[in-house]
């Protein structure tokens, strides 16, 4: 097995997490990355268990990091393990020295031996284009609903309750892909890091967990986690508020709904970048928020 200069192991070095999160907090102030990782750990899914870190040090200071995740996806109905690039960071005092390029080139050599497809999301796509990544357009899906309000069919998941934590883990480990065009399965740590501080709603009769926001009469739907994907109507019927419009932030091919696809970047500037094979490239889709790395 090839040895890499910058590849490290959280299991072999118990101090590595401290060095990494110190770097990430400097590069991404205000994002609360350490808190998100700690919240995910409380839910039973650690950052360290999912990520392979490639890091450059100057003395005892971590100055560059590129992480690699494995993301099991359904791409056009085929289950594929995709490599996810995340946590890309260089300390401000050590930039313009070629450190990022050195680490990224090693990461790509590693990934080319393991994955046919790499993905990442970024507001700075120009940083990745020199390494063979390309921008892929995503879409939001808009549907009219005109529901006057249904039953109280959801409850808020209590992430401080052991039973609810077990429920979350069960659903994440056994979930179906939310879309056959592009859906995610078993990416538990990634989901927990991203969604652990967002409200999670559970419908017991459907046995489905929903990532959603309701703004006025608009339902914003970000992900469904369940052993069986339900229809959009089944979700709306369990919301006790009038819903006139629905915005779906993933391909709705399994929701039994007619929706208009509109080009969209999540959060205004979050670009999906792909390297290698990518079967859904010419289809309308969006990588769910819970799987964006």
Examine the domain organization and report whether 57 and 121 are in the same domain.
yes
* Residue 225: Cβ-neighbour burial (10 angstroms; 0-12, 13-18, 19+): buried
Average pLDDT over residues 37-48: 95
Query: Both tokens of residue 256?
Result: 């039994």
Examine the domain organization and report whether 122 and 93 are in the same domain.
yes
Q: Is the residue at 109 inside a domain? A: yes
Rounded to 10°, the helix 162-174/188-195 angle is 130
Model confidence over 30-39: pLDDT tens digits? 889 999 999 9
Q: What value does the mean pLDDT of the chain take?
A: 96
Q: Tell me the CATH number at 176.
A: 3.40.630
- What residues contact 267, with CB distance under 8 A and at least 6 apart? none
Model confidence over 246-291: pLDDT tens digits? 999 999 999 999 999 999 999 989 999 999 999 999 999 999 999 9
* Dihedral pair phi/psi, residue 115, rounded to 5°: -135, 145
pLDDT for 28 beyond 80: yes
Q: Is the residue at 79 inside a domain? A: yes
* CA 99 – CA 262 distance, rounded (Å): 38
Q: Is the residue at 180 inside a domain? A: yes
* CA 103 – CA 66 distance, rounded (Å): 7
State how far Cα 19 lies from the chain centre.
23
Average pLDDT over residues 71-90: 97
Model confidence over 205-226: pLDDT tens digits? 999 999 999 999 999 999 999 9
pLDDT for 1 beyond 80: no
Q: Check if the beta carbon of residue 71 is closer than 8 Å to that of residue 274.
A: no
What pLDDT score was predicted for residue 146?
Answer: 85
State how far Cα 103 lies from the chain centre.
23
Tokens 């046995």 identify what position? 207
Examine the domain organization and report whether 113 and 144 are in the same domain.
no
Examine the domain organization and report whether 199 and 150 are in the same domain.
yes
Q: Which residues pair with 225 in a beta bridge?
A: 209
Examine the domain organization and report whether 95 and 53 are in the same domain.
yes
Q: Is the residue at 69 inside a domain? A: yes
Examine the domain organization and report whether 161 and 210 are in the same domain.
yes
What pLDDT score was predicted for residue 2?
Answer: 86
Query: Could you give the number of structural domains in the chain?
Result: 2
**pTM listed for this prediction:** 0.95
Q: Is the residue at 5 inside a domain? A: no
Q: What is the number of other CB atoms lying within 10 angstroms of the CB of residue 173?
A: 13
The residue range of the domain holding 249 is: 140-263
Examine the domain organization and report whether 179 and 120 are in the same domain.
no
Model confidence over 160-207: pLDDT tens digits? 999 999 999 999 999 999 999 999 999 999 999 999 889 999 999 999
Q: Is the residue at 224 inside a domain? A: yes
Examine the domain organization and report whether 54 and 112 are in the same domain.
yes
Examine the domain organization and report whether 130 and 273 are in the same domain.
yes
Examine the domain organization and report whether 131 and 273 are in the same domain.
yes
Q: Which of 77, 72, 70 is nearest to 283 (CA)?
A: 77
Distance (Å) of CA 104 to CA 8, 24, 83: 14, 17, 14
Q: Is the residue at 287 inside a domain? A: no
Give the pLDDT band (50/70/90) at residue 54: very high
Q: Is the residue at 11 inside a domain? A: no
Examine the domain organization and report whether 112 and 167 are in the same domain.
no
Q: Tell me the CATH number at 79.
A: 3.40.630.30
Examine the domain organization and report whether 151 and 124 are in the same domain.
no
């Amino acid at each position: 097995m090839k040895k890499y200069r910058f590849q490290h192991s959280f299991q072999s070095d118990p101090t590595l997490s401290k060095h990494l999160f110190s770097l990430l907090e400097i590069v991404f102030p205000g994002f609360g990355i350490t808190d998100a990782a700690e919240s995910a750990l409380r839910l039973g899914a650690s950052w360290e268990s999912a990520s392979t870190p490639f890091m450059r040090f100057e003395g005892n200071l971590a100055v560059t990091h590129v992480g690699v995740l494995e993301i099991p996806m359904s791409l056009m109905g085929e289950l594929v393990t995709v490599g996810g690039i995340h946590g890309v960071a260089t300390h401000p005092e050590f930039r313009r020295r070629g450190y990022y390029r050195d680490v990224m080139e090693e990461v790509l050599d590693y990934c080319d031996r393991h994955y046919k497809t790499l993905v990442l999301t970024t507001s700075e796509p120009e940083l990745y284009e020199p390494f063979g990544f390309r921008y892929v357009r995503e879409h939001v899906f808009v549907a009219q609903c005109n529901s006057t309000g249904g039953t109280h069919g959801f409850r808020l998941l209590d992430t401080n309750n052991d039973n609810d934590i077990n429920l979350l883990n069960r659903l994440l480990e056994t979930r179906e892909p939310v879309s056959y065009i592009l859906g995610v399965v078993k990416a538990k740590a990634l989901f927990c890091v991203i969604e652990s501080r967002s409200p999670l709603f559970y419908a017991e009769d459907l046995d489905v967990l929903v990532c959603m926001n309701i703004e006025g009469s608009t339902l914003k739907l970000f992900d469904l986690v369940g052993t069986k994907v339900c229809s959009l109507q089944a979700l709306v019927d369990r919301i006790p508020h009038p819903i006139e419009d629905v915005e779906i932030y993933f391909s709705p091919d399994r929701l039994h709904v007619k929706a208009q696809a509109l080009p969209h970047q999540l959060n205004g500037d979050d670009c999906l970048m792909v390297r290698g094979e990518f079967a859904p490239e010419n289809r309308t889709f969006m990588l769910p928020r819970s799987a964006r790395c």
